[in-house]
Structure 1
Protein backbone atom coordinates (compact mmCIF):
# COMPACT_ATOMS: atom_id res chain seq x y z
CA UNK A 1 0.00 0.00 0.00
CA UNK A 2 1.45 3.35 -1.07
CA UNK A 3 2.00 6.18 1.39
CA UNK A 4 -0.49 8.35 -0.51
CA UNK A 5 -3.21 5.69 -0.23
CA UNK A 6 -2.47 5.26 3.48
CA UNK A 7 -2.81 9.02 3.93
CA UNK A 8 -6.14 9.04 2.09
CA UNK A 9 -7.49 6.21 4.23
CA UNK A 10 -6.41 7.78 7.53
CA UNK A 11 -7.81 11.18 6.52
CA UNK A 12 -11.10 9.58 5.48
CA UNK A 13 -11.43 7.69 8.76
CA UNK A 14 -10.77 10.84 10.79
CA UNK A 15 -13.25 12.92 8.76
CA UNK A 16 -16.00 10.30 8.96
CA UNK A 17 -15.46 9.81 12.71
CA UNK A 18 -15.64 13.55 13.42
CA UNK A 19 -18.72 14.11 11.26
CA UNK A 20 -20.62 11.09 12.59
CA UNK A 21 -19.77 11.97 16.20
CA UNK A 22 -20.97 15.54 15.70
CA UNK A 23 -24.10 14.24 13.97
CA UNK A 24 -24.79 11.90 16.88
CA UNK A 25 -24.36 14.57 19.56
CA UNK A 26 -26.10 17.29 17.54
CA UNK A 27 -26.60 20.69 19.13
CA UNK A 28 -23.56 22.91 19.34
CA UNK A 29 -21.22 20.11 18.19
CA UNK A 30 -22.92 19.72 14.83
CA UNK A 31 -23.45 23.45 14.41
CA UNK A 32 -19.70 23.95 14.85
CA UNK A 33 -19.02 21.39 12.12
CA UNK A 34 -21.61 23.01 9.83
CA UNK A 35 -20.15 26.48 10.46
CA UNK A 36 -16.63 25.16 9.88
CA UNK A 37 -17.64 23.58 6.58
CA UNK A 38 -19.23 26.84 5.41
CA UNK A 39 -16.22 28.95 6.39
CA UNK A 40 -13.78 26.57 4.70
CA UNK A 41 -15.93 26.49 1.57
CA UNK A 42 -15.85 30.28 1.43
CA UNK A 43 -12.08 30.25 1.93
CA UNK A 44 -11.60 27.80 -0.94
CA UNK A 45 -14.10 29.61 -3.17
CA UNK A 46 -12.42 32.98 -2.61
CA UNK A 47 -9.02 31.39 -3.28
CA UNK A 48 -10.12 29.63 -6.47
CA UNK A 49 -11.87 32.71 -7.85
CA UNK A 50 -9.02 34.98 -6.67
CA UNK A 51 -11.35 37.31 -4.78
CA UNK A 52 -8.61 38.31 -2.36
CA UNK A 53 -6.67 39.71 -5.32
CA UNK A 54 -9.45 41.09 -7.52
CA UNK A 55 -11.93 42.53 -5.01
CA UNK A 56 -10.57 42.93 -1.50
CA UNK A 57 -13.56 44.86 -0.13
CA UNK A 58 -16.11 42.40 -1.47
CA UNK A 59 -14.08 39.51 -0.13
CA UNK A 60 -13.85 41.16 3.30
CA UNK A 61 -17.63 41.62 3.30
CA UNK A 62 -17.99 37.94 2.44
CA UNK A 63 -15.90 36.94 5.44
CA UNK A 64 -17.84 39.35 7.65
CA UNK A 65 -21.14 37.88 6.42
CA UNK A 66 -20.03 34.29 7.01
CA UNK A 67 -18.89 35.21 10.53
CA UNK A 68 -22.23 36.87 11.29
CA UNK A 69 -24.23 33.90 9.99
CA UNK A 70 -22.08 31.40 11.87
CA UNK A 71 -22.24 33.29 15.16
CA UNK A 72 -26.00 33.81 14.90
CA UNK A 73 -26.52 30.13 14.16
CA UNK A 74 -24.31 29.09 17.07
CA UNK A 75 -25.41 31.54 19.72
CA UNK A 76 -28.30 33.63 18.35
CA UNK A 77 -31.92 33.11 17.40
CA UNK A 78 -32.30 30.39 14.74
CA UNK A 79 -35.39 32.00 13.21
CA UNK A 80 -33.35 35.08 12.28
CA UNK A 81 -30.67 33.14 10.40
CA UNK A 82 -32.36 32.86 7.00
CA UNK A 83 -33.66 36.49 6.82
CA UNK A 84 -30.28 37.75 8.01
CA UNK A 85 -28.47 35.63 5.44
CA UNK A 86 -30.80 36.76 2.65
CA UNK A 87 -30.15 40.40 3.54
CA UNK A 88 -26.39 39.90 3.48
CA UNK A 89 -26.50 38.14 0.10
CA UNK A 90 -28.65 40.92 -1.40
CA UNK A 91 -26.25 43.52 0.04
CA UNK A 92 -23.34 41.70 -1.58
CA UNK A 93 -25.18 41.39 -4.89
CA UNK A 94 -26.14 45.07 -5.25
CA UNK A 95 -22.61 46.36 -6.03
CA UNK A 96 -22.06 43.49 -8.46
CA UNK A 97 -25.28 44.41 -10.25
CA UNK A 98 -24.73 48.18 -10.29
CA UNK A 99 -21.08 48.06 -11.33
CA UNK A 100 -21.60 45.13 -13.68
CA UNK A 101 -18.66 43.29 -12.19
CA UNK A 102 -18.36 39.54 -11.73
CA UNK A 103 -20.74 37.71 -9.44
CA UNK A 104 -18.18 35.38 -7.88
CA UNK A 105 -18.30 37.05 -4.46
CA UNK A 106 -22.09 37.01 -3.90
CA UNK A 107 -22.16 33.57 -5.52
CA UNK A 108 -19.55 32.28 -3.10
CA UNK A 109 -21.37 33.79 -0.14
CA UNK A 110 -24.61 32.16 -1.27
CA UNK A 111 -22.92 28.78 -1.77
CA UNK A 112 -20.99 28.77 1.51
CA UNK A 113 -23.74 30.28 3.64
CA UNK A 114 -26.40 27.91 2.36
CA UNK A 115 -24.07 25.01 3.10
CA UNK A 116 -23.93 25.98 6.76
CA UNK A 117 -27.62 26.80 7.08
CA UNK A 118 -29.00 23.73 5.28
CA UNK A 119 -26.73 21.29 7.12
CA UNK A 120 -27.74 22.78 10.46
CA UNK A 121 -31.44 22.81 9.53
CA UNK A 122 -31.48 19.14 8.57
CA UNK A 123 -29.80 18.01 11.80
CA UNK A 124 -32.00 20.36 13.78
CA UNK A 125 -32.68 19.90 17.46
CA UNK A 126 -35.30 17.13 17.40
CA UNK A 127 -34.82 13.38 17.71
CA UNK A 128 -35.37 12.86 13.98
CA UNK A 129 -32.42 15.06 13.08
CA UNK A 130 -29.82 12.34 13.53
CA UNK A 131 -31.72 9.90 11.31
CA UNK A 132 -32.41 12.65 8.76
CA UNK A 133 -28.72 13.48 8.49
CA UNK A 134 -27.83 9.78 8.19
CA UNK A 135 -30.42 9.54 5.41
CA UNK A 136 -28.73 12.35 3.49
CA UNK A 137 -25.27 10.86 4.06
CA UNK A 138 -26.35 7.41 2.82
CA UNK A 139 -28.07 8.80 -0.28
CA UNK A 140 -25.05 10.91 -1.23
CA UNK A 141 -22.41 8.28 -0.45
CA UNK A 142 -24.36 5.53 -2.24
CA UNK A 143 -24.78 7.78 -5.26
CA UNK A 144 -21.13 8.75 -5.35
CA UNK A 145 -19.71 5.25 -4.91
CA UNK A 146 -22.01 3.40 -7.30
CA UNK A 147 -21.82 6.15 -9.94
CA UNK A 148 -18.06 5.62 -10.02
CA UNK A 149 -18.15 1.82 -10.22
CA UNK A 150 -21.10 1.56 -12.62
CA UNK A 151 -19.59 4.21 -14.86
CA UNK A 152 -16.29 2.35 -15.00
CA UNK A 153 -17.96 -1.02 -15.58
CA UNK A 154 -20.46 0.01 -18.27
CA UNK A 155 -19.10 3.25 -19.72
CA UNK A 156 -21.14 4.70 -22.56
CA UNK A 157 -22.15 8.27 -23.44
CA UNK A 158 -20.57 11.05 -21.41
CA UNK A 159 -22.77 12.97 -19.01
CA UNK A 160 -21.05 16.36 -19.36
CA UNK A 161 -17.85 15.92 -21.40
CA UNK A 162 -16.88 19.60 -21.32
CA UNK A 163 -17.19 19.82 -17.55
CA UNK A 164 -16.25 16.38 -16.24
CA UNK A 165 -15.11 13.99 -19.02
CA UNK A 166 -14.98 10.96 -16.72
CA UNK A 167 -18.69 10.95 -15.83
CA UNK A 168 -21.15 8.88 -17.88
CA UNK A 169 -24.91 8.56 -18.12
CA UNK A 170 -24.67 4.95 -17.00
CA UNK A 171 -22.81 6.03 -13.87
CA UNK A 172 -25.34 8.80 -13.18
CA UNK A 173 -28.29 6.42 -13.51
CA UNK A 174 -26.58 3.69 -11.49
CA UNK A 175 -25.70 6.20 -8.79
CA UNK A 176 -29.26 7.51 -8.64
CA UNK A 177 -30.71 4.00 -8.30
CA UNK A 178 -28.22 3.24 -5.52
CA UNK A 179 -29.04 6.52 -3.77
CA UNK A 180 -32.77 5.77 -3.79
CA UNK A 181 -32.24 2.21 -2.53
CA UNK A 182 -29.85 3.40 0.18
CA UNK A 183 -32.26 6.11 1.30
CA UNK A 184 -35.23 3.74 1.44
CA UNK A 185 -33.23 1.13 3.37
CA UNK A 186 -32.06 3.59 6.03
CA UNK A 187 -35.65 4.81 6.41
CA UNK A 188 -36.95 1.24 6.71
CA UNK A 189 -34.36 0.55 9.41
CA UNK A 190 -35.89 3.29 11.57
CA UNK A 191 -39.58 3.43 10.62
CA UNK A 192 -42.21 0.76 10.09
CA UNK A 193 -44.25 2.60 7.48
CA UNK A 194 -42.07 3.94 4.64
CA UNK A 195 -44.05 5.42 1.78
CA UNK A 196 -43.27 6.45 -1.78
CA UNK A 197 -42.41 9.94 -0.53
CA UNK A 198 -39.10 8.74 0.91
CA UNK A 199 -38.06 7.32 -2.48
CA UNK A 200 -39.04 10.58 -4.19
CA UNK A 201 -36.97 12.62 -1.73
CA UNK A 202 -34.01 10.23 -2.07
CA UNK A 203 -34.24 10.55 -5.86
CA UNK A 204 -34.22 14.36 -5.66
CA UNK A 205 -31.27 14.38 -3.27
CA UNK A 206 -29.32 11.90 -5.40
CA UNK A 207 -29.78 13.98 -8.55
CA UNK A 208 -28.92 17.16 -6.64
CA UNK A 209 -25.71 15.61 -5.30
CA UNK A 210 -24.57 14.80 -8.84
CA UNK A 211 -25.40 18.33 -9.97
CA UNK A 212 -23.27 19.59 -7.07
CA UNK A 213 -20.38 17.43 -8.24
CA UNK A 214 -20.68 18.84 -11.76
CA UNK A 215 -20.98 22.38 -10.42
CA UNK A 216 -17.72 22.14 -8.53
CA UNK A 217 -16.04 20.57 -11.57
CA UNK A 218 -17.23 23.54 -13.63
CA UNK A 219 -15.82 26.04 -11.12
CA UNK A 220 -12.44 24.30 -11.00
CA UNK A 221 -12.27 23.98 -14.78
CA UNK A 222 -13.28 27.63 -15.19
CA UNK A 223 -10.32 28.74 -13.07
CA UNK A 224 -7.90 26.03 -14.10
CA UNK A 225 -7.38 24.28 -10.77
CA UNK A 226 -7.26 20.55 -10.03
CA UNK A 227 -8.29 20.62 -6.36
CA UNK A 228 -10.20 23.23 -4.39
CA UNK A 229 -7.29 23.33 -1.92
CA UNK A 230 -4.87 21.06 -0.07
CA UNK A 231 -6.53 21.30 3.32
CA UNK A 232 -7.32 17.58 3.58
CA UNK A 233 -4.24 15.33 3.25
CA UNK A 234 -4.68 12.96 0.33
CA UNK A 235 -8.10 14.31 -0.61
CA UNK A 236 -7.65 17.88 -1.80
CA UNK A 237 -10.04 20.42 -0.37
CA UNK A 238 -13.29 20.59 1.56
CA UNK A 239 -15.28 21.49 -1.55
CA UNK A 240 -13.89 18.38 -3.25
CA UNK A 241 -15.35 16.23 -0.50
CA UNK A 242 -18.68 17.91 0.22
CA UNK A 243 -19.77 19.20 -3.21
CA UNK A 244 -22.47 16.55 -3.59
CA UNK A 245 -23.46 16.63 0.08
CA UNK A 246 -24.15 20.34 0.26
CA UNK A 247 -26.20 20.34 -2.95
CA UNK A 248 -28.27 17.46 -1.57
CA UNK A 249 -28.79 19.53 1.58
CA UNK A 250 -29.79 22.51 -0.58
CA UNK A 251 -32.38 20.34 -2.31
CA UNK A 252 -33.83 19.09 0.98
CA UNK A 253 -33.87 22.61 2.42
CA UNK A 254 -35.65 24.18 -0.55
CA UNK A 255 -38.09 21.29 -0.91
CA UNK A 256 -39.11 21.87 2.69
CA UNK A 257 -39.44 25.63 2.19
CA UNK A 258 -41.37 25.12 -1.05
CA UNK A 259 -43.70 22.63 0.59
CA UNK A 260 -44.45 25.00 3.45
CA UNK A 261 -44.83 28.07 1.21
CA UNK A 262 -47.00 26.16 -1.26
CA UNK A 263 -49.52 25.29 1.40
CA UNK A 264 -48.80 21.55 1.27
CA UNK A 265 -48.31 21.55 5.01
CA UNK A 266 -46.39 23.05 7.87
CA UNK A 267 -42.84 21.76 8.12
CA UNK A 268 -42.41 20.92 11.80
CA UNK A 269 -38.81 19.78 11.30
CA UNK A 270 -36.58 18.80 8.41
CA UNK A 271 -36.48 15.23 9.67
CA UNK A 272 -40.25 14.95 9.72
CA UNK A 273 -40.42 16.44 6.23
CA UNK A 274 -37.82 14.10 4.70
CA UNK A 275 -39.62 11.02 6.01
CA UNK A 276 -43.14 12.28 5.33
CA UNK A 277 -44.14 12.24 8.99
Structure 2
Protein backbone atom coordinates (compact mmCIF):
# COMPACT_ATOMS: atom_id res chain seq x y z
CA UNK A 1 0.00 0.00 0.00
CA UNK A 2 1.38 3.40 -1.01
CA UNK A 3 1.78 6.09 1.69
CA UNK A 4 -0.76 8.96 1.81
CA UNK A 5 -0.09 12.03 -0.28
CA UNK A 6 1.56 15.01 1.48
CA UNK A 7 -0.20 18.38 1.39
CA UNK A 8 2.03 19.66 -1.43
CA UNK A 9 1.14 16.66 -3.60
CA UNK A 10 -2.55 17.10 -2.76
CA UNK A 11 -2.43 20.72 -3.90
CA UNK A 12 -0.62 19.66 -7.07
CA UNK A 13 -3.27 17.01 -7.71
CA UNK A 14 -6.04 19.60 -7.33
CA UNK A 15 -4.26 21.86 -9.81
CA UNK A 16 -3.88 18.94 -12.23
CA UNK A 17 -7.59 18.20 -12.01
CA UNK A 18 -8.55 21.83 -12.58
CA UNK A 19 -6.25 22.09 -15.61
CA UNK A 20 -7.67 18.84 -17.00
CA UNK A 21 -11.22 20.12 -16.55
CA UNK A 22 -10.31 23.14 -18.68
CA UNK A 23 -8.24 21.39 -21.35
CA UNK A 24 -10.22 18.17 -21.82
CA UNK A 25 -13.36 19.91 -23.18
CA UNK A 26 -11.21 21.87 -25.64
CA UNK A 27 -9.60 18.70 -26.96
CA UNK A 28 -12.92 16.86 -27.15
CA UNK A 29 -14.58 19.80 -28.90
CA UNK A 30 -11.79 19.89 -31.50
CA UNK A 31 -12.10 16.15 -32.12
CA UNK A 32 -15.87 16.28 -32.46
CA UNK A 33 -15.86 19.41 -34.63
CA UNK A 34 -13.16 18.01 -36.92
CA UNK A 35 -11.67 20.26 -39.57
CA UNK A 36 -10.25 22.85 -39.14
CA UNK A 37 -10.25 22.67 -35.34
CA UNK A 38 -8.58 19.28 -35.07
CA UNK A 39 -5.76 20.41 -37.34
CA UNK A 40 -5.40 23.69 -35.46
CA UNK A 41 -5.18 22.04 -32.04
CA UNK A 42 -2.67 19.42 -33.21
CA UNK A 43 -0.39 21.88 -35.02
CA UNK A 44 -0.43 24.36 -32.13
CA UNK A 45 0.26 21.53 -29.71
CA UNK A 46 3.03 20.34 -32.00
CA UNK A 47 4.66 23.77 -32.01
CA UNK A 48 4.54 23.85 -28.21
CA UNK A 49 6.04 20.36 -27.95
CA UNK A 50 8.78 21.21 -30.44
CA UNK A 51 9.67 24.28 -28.38
CA UNK A 52 9.79 22.17 -25.22
CA UNK A 53 11.87 19.39 -26.81
CA UNK A 54 14.43 21.82 -28.23
CA UNK A 55 14.79 23.56 -24.87
CA UNK A 56 15.13 20.26 -22.99
CA UNK A 57 17.86 19.02 -25.31
CA UNK A 58 19.46 22.42 -25.83
CA UNK A 59 20.22 23.57 -22.29
CA UNK A 60 16.94 25.51 -22.01
CA UNK A 61 17.64 27.44 -25.21
CA UNK A 62 15.48 27.48 -28.33
CA UNK A 63 17.94 27.18 -31.19
CA UNK A 64 18.13 26.84 -34.95
CA UNK A 65 16.92 23.24 -34.83
CA UNK A 66 13.78 24.27 -33.00
CA UNK A 67 13.09 27.11 -35.43
CA UNK A 68 13.47 24.77 -38.41
CA UNK A 69 11.17 22.26 -36.71
CA UNK A 70 8.57 25.00 -36.31
CA UNK A 71 8.85 25.91 -39.99
CA UNK A 72 8.46 22.25 -40.94
CA UNK A 73 5.39 21.78 -38.74
CA UNK A 74 3.73 24.80 -40.31
CA UNK A 75 4.45 23.30 -43.72
CA UNK A 76 3.07 19.97 -42.51
CA UNK A 77 -0.09 21.78 -41.44
CA UNK A 78 -0.52 23.16 -44.95
CA UNK A 79 0.07 19.72 -46.48
CA UNK A 80 -2.51 17.95 -44.31
CA UNK A 81 -5.01 20.73 -44.99
CA UNK A 82 -4.89 19.67 -48.62
CA UNK A 83 -4.98 15.98 -47.59
CA UNK A 84 -1.39 15.43 -48.75
CA UNK A 85 -0.28 13.26 -45.88
CA UNK A 86 2.38 11.73 -48.09
CA UNK A 87 3.98 15.14 -48.61
CA UNK A 88 3.73 15.84 -44.89
CA UNK A 89 5.73 12.71 -44.05
CA UNK A 90 8.25 13.40 -46.82
CA UNK A 91 8.72 16.91 -45.42
CA UNK A 92 9.34 15.48 -41.95
CA UNK A 93 11.95 13.06 -43.32
CA UNK A 94 13.72 15.75 -45.33
CA UNK A 95 13.65 18.17 -42.41
CA UNK A 96 15.25 15.58 -40.13
CA UNK A 97 18.28 15.37 -42.41
CA UNK A 98 18.41 19.12 -42.95
CA UNK A 99 18.18 19.96 -39.24
CA UNK A 100 20.88 17.45 -38.35
CA UNK A 101 23.19 18.89 -40.99
CA UNK A 102 22.61 22.53 -40.09
CA UNK A 103 22.95 22.04 -36.34
CA UNK A 104 26.11 19.97 -36.84
CA UNK A 105 27.68 22.57 -39.13
CA UNK A 106 26.59 25.35 -36.81
CA UNK A 107 28.47 23.71 -33.96
CA UNK A 108 25.85 24.78 -31.43
CA UNK A 109 23.50 22.23 -29.94
CA UNK A 110 23.14 18.47 -30.23
CA UNK A 111 22.39 17.55 -33.86
CA UNK A 112 20.99 14.09 -33.09
CA UNK A 113 18.55 15.25 -30.44
CA UNK A 114 17.64 18.38 -32.39
CA UNK A 115 16.88 16.47 -35.59
CA UNK A 116 14.58 13.83 -34.09
CA UNK A 117 12.42 16.60 -32.64
CA UNK A 118 10.50 16.92 -35.90
CA UNK A 119 9.91 13.14 -36.01
CA UNK A 120 8.81 12.83 -32.38
CA UNK A 121 6.35 15.70 -32.74
CA UNK A 122 5.47 15.68 -36.44
CA UNK A 123 4.62 12.01 -37.06
CA UNK A 124 2.10 11.70 -34.18
CA UNK A 125 0.47 14.98 -35.21
CA UNK A 126 0.05 13.81 -38.80
CA UNK A 127 -1.20 10.41 -37.65
CA UNK A 128 -3.82 11.89 -35.32
CA UNK A 129 -5.10 14.29 -37.99
CA UNK A 130 -5.19 11.48 -40.57
CA UNK A 131 -7.16 9.18 -38.27
CA UNK A 132 -9.75 11.88 -37.57
CA UNK A 133 -10.07 12.74 -41.27
CA UNK A 134 -11.72 9.43 -42.19
CA UNK A 135 -15.35 10.34 -42.96
CA UNK A 136 -16.72 6.98 -41.79
CA UNK A 137 -14.79 5.94 -38.69
CA UNK A 138 -12.61 8.97 -37.95
CA UNK A 139 -14.64 10.48 -35.13
CA UNK A 140 -15.35 7.19 -33.35
CA UNK A 141 -11.80 5.94 -33.77
CA UNK A 142 -10.20 9.14 -32.49
CA UNK A 143 -12.50 9.33 -29.47
CA UNK A 144 -11.72 5.68 -28.71
CA UNK A 145 -7.98 6.30 -28.95
CA UNK A 146 -7.93 9.46 -26.84
CA UNK A 147 -10.24 7.85 -24.29
CA UNK A 148 -7.91 4.85 -24.05
CA UNK A 149 -4.93 7.15 -23.43
CA UNK A 150 -6.79 9.05 -20.72
CA UNK A 151 -7.96 5.78 -19.14
CA UNK A 152 -4.34 4.62 -19.16
CA UNK A 153 -3.24 7.73 -17.27
CA UNK A 154 -6.05 7.41 -14.71
CA UNK A 155 -5.60 3.67 -14.21
CA UNK A 156 -1.84 3.98 -13.89
CA UNK A 157 -2.11 6.75 -11.32
CA UNK A 158 -4.89 5.20 -9.20
CA UNK A 159 -3.51 1.66 -9.12
CA UNK A 160 0.07 2.84 -8.74
CA UNK A 161 -0.79 5.09 -5.80
CA UNK A 162 -3.16 2.61 -4.16
CA UNK A 163 -1.16 -0.59 -4.52
CA UNK A 164 2.41 0.56 -5.12
CA UNK A 165 4.90 -2.29 -5.24
CA UNK A 166 7.86 -3.04 -7.51
CA UNK A 167 9.06 -0.25 -9.78
CA UNK A 168 8.50 -0.54 -13.51
CA UNK A 169 11.56 1.40 -14.67
CA UNK A 170 13.27 2.95 -11.63
CA UNK A 171 16.15 4.47 -13.59
CA UNK A 172 13.81 6.22 -16.00
CA UNK A 173 10.68 7.01 -14.00
CA UNK A 174 10.96 6.08 -10.30
CA UNK A 175 7.27 6.75 -9.65
CA UNK A 176 5.96 4.15 -12.08
CA UNK A 177 5.13 0.66 -10.81
CA UNK A 178 4.10 -2.66 -12.30
CA UNK A 179 0.79 -2.34 -10.48
CA UNK A 180 0.29 1.00 -12.20
CA UNK A 181 0.93 -0.59 -15.58
CA UNK A 182 -1.53 -3.38 -14.78
CA UNK A 183 -4.11 -0.83 -13.69
CA UNK A 184 -3.52 1.18 -16.85
CA UNK A 185 -4.13 -1.89 -19.03
CA UNK A 186 -7.27 -2.87 -17.09
CA UNK A 187 -8.72 0.64 -17.14
CA UNK A 188 -8.02 1.09 -20.85
CA UNK A 189 -9.50 -2.32 -21.66
CA UNK A 190 -12.60 -1.47 -19.61
CA UNK A 191 -12.88 1.82 -21.49
CA UNK A 192 -12.57 0.07 -24.85
CA UNK A 193 -15.18 -2.50 -23.91
CA UNK A 194 -17.60 0.09 -22.56
CA UNK A 195 -17.08 2.34 -25.55
CA UNK A 196 -17.71 -0.50 -28.00
CA UNK A 197 -21.03 -1.38 -26.38
CA UNK A 198 -22.05 2.28 -26.36
CA UNK A 199 -21.05 2.70 -30.02
CA UNK A 200 -22.56 -0.67 -31.02
CA UNK A 201 -19.21 -1.76 -32.44
CA UNK A 202 -19.35 -5.20 -34.10
CA UNK A 203 -16.46 -6.76 -32.11
CA UNK A 204 -16.49 -5.32 -28.56
CA UNK A 205 -14.07 -7.82 -27.02
CA UNK A 206 -11.50 -7.16 -29.73
CA UNK A 207 -11.91 -3.42 -29.17
CA UNK A 208 -11.35 -3.92 -25.44
CA UNK A 209 -8.25 -6.02 -26.05
CA UNK A 210 -6.81 -3.45 -28.45
CA UNK A 211 -7.43 -0.72 -25.89
CA UNK A 212 -5.41 -2.74 -23.38
CA UNK A 213 -2.57 -3.05 -25.89
CA UNK A 214 -2.88 0.69 -26.51
CA UNK A 215 -2.23 1.26 -22.80
CA UNK A 216 1.13 -0.49 -23.09
CA UNK A 217 1.99 1.54 -26.20
CA UNK A 218 1.00 4.77 -24.42
CA UNK A 219 3.17 3.84 -21.44
CA UNK A 220 6.11 3.44 -23.83
CA UNK A 221 5.59 7.03 -24.92
CA UNK A 222 5.40 8.14 -21.31
CA UNK A 223 8.64 6.34 -20.47
CA UNK A 224 10.30 7.70 -23.59
CA UNK A 225 9.62 11.30 -22.62
CA UNK A 226 10.67 10.53 -19.04
CA UNK A 227 13.95 9.10 -20.34
CA UNK A 228 14.71 12.26 -22.31
CA UNK A 229 13.89 14.51 -19.36
CA UNK A 230 16.03 12.43 -17.00
CA UNK A 231 18.84 12.35 -19.58
CA UNK A 232 19.00 16.16 -19.48
CA UNK A 233 18.13 16.62 -15.81
CA UNK A 234 14.70 18.18 -16.35
CA UNK A 235 11.65 17.45 -14.17
CA UNK A 236 8.94 18.89 -16.44
CA UNK A 237 9.00 19.68 -20.14
CA UNK A 238 7.88 23.23 -19.30
CA UNK A 239 5.36 25.01 -17.09
CA UNK A 240 2.82 25.76 -19.81
CA UNK A 241 0.09 23.66 -18.15
CA UNK A 242 -0.38 24.31 -14.41
CA UNK A 243 -0.06 21.11 -12.40
CA UNK A 244 0.90 19.05 -15.43
CA UNK A 245 4.17 20.58 -16.58
CA UNK A 246 4.39 20.91 -20.34
CA UNK A 247 2.46 19.82 -23.39
CA UNK A 248 4.95 16.97 -23.89
CA UNK A 249 4.09 15.76 -20.40
CA UNK A 250 0.42 15.52 -21.38
CA UNK A 251 0.85 14.25 -24.94
CA UNK A 252 3.53 11.66 -24.16
CA UNK A 253 1.13 8.74 -24.60
CA UNK A 254 -0.14 10.11 -27.89
CA UNK A 255 3.40 10.29 -29.30
CA UNK A 256 3.50 6.51 -29.59
CA UNK A 257 -0.20 5.66 -29.71
CA UNK A 258 -1.25 7.80 -32.69
CA UNK A 259 1.43 6.37 -35.03
CA UNK A 260 0.75 2.82 -33.79
CA UNK A 261 -3.02 3.09 -34.28
CA UNK A 262 -2.49 4.85 -37.61
CA UNK A 263 -0.22 2.05 -38.80
CA UNK A 264 -2.74 -0.58 -37.66
CA UNK A 265 -5.59 1.13 -39.50
CA UNK A 266 -3.48 1.62 -42.62
CA UNK A 267 -2.21 -1.98 -42.74
CA UNK A 268 -5.65 -3.47 -42.06
CA UNK A 269 -7.35 -1.12 -44.54
CA UNK A 270 -9.60 0.57 -42.02
CA UNK A 271 -9.08 -1.50 -38.89
CA UNK A 272 -10.91 -4.67 -39.97
CA UNK A 273 -14.25 -2.90 -39.55
CA UNK A 274 -13.74 -2.89 -35.78
CA UNK A 275 -15.10 0.61 -35.31
CA UNK A 276 -18.20 0.05 -37.44
Match status 1:135 vs 2:144? yes
From 16, 19, 42, give the equivalent of 1:34: 42
Is the Cα contact below 8 Å between 2:149 and 2:215 reproduced in 1? yes
Alignment partner, residue 174 of structure 1:
183
Alignment partner, residue 210 of structure 1:
219
Alignment partner, residue 262 of structure 1:
none
Alignment partner, residue 4 of structure 2:
none
Is the Cα contact below 8 Å between 1:51 and 1:105 reproduced in 2? no
Is the Cα contact below 8 Å between 2:140 and 2:275 reproduced in 1? no
The 5-angstrom pairing of residues 109-124 of structure 1 reads 109-124=118-133
Question: How far off is 1:61 after superposition?
Answer: 2.3
RMSD (Å) for aligned C-alpha atoms: 2.8
From 25, 45, 48, give the equivalent of 2:33: 25
Query: CA offsets per residue over residues 164-198 of structure 1, 9 Å max, x none?
Result: 11111121112112212211221221124215542
From 50, 71, 77, give the equivalent of 2:78: 71
From 75, 91, 98, give the equivalent of 1:84: 91
Match status 1:222 vs 2:231? yes
From 9, 19, 30, give the equivalent of 1:11: 19
CA distance in 2, matches of 1:59, 1:274: 40
Alignment partner, residue 173 of structure 2:
164
CA distance in 1, matches of 2:201, 2:31: 23
Aligned length: 266
- TM-score by structure 2 length? 0.84
- TM-score by structure 1 length? 0.84
Is the Cα contact below 8 Å between 2:100 and 2:111 reproduced in 1? no
Is the Cα contact below 8 Å between 1:198 and 1:274 reproduced in 2? no
Question: How far off is 1:229 after superposition?
Answer: 0.6
Distance change (3 Å), C-alpha of 1:196 and 1:152: same
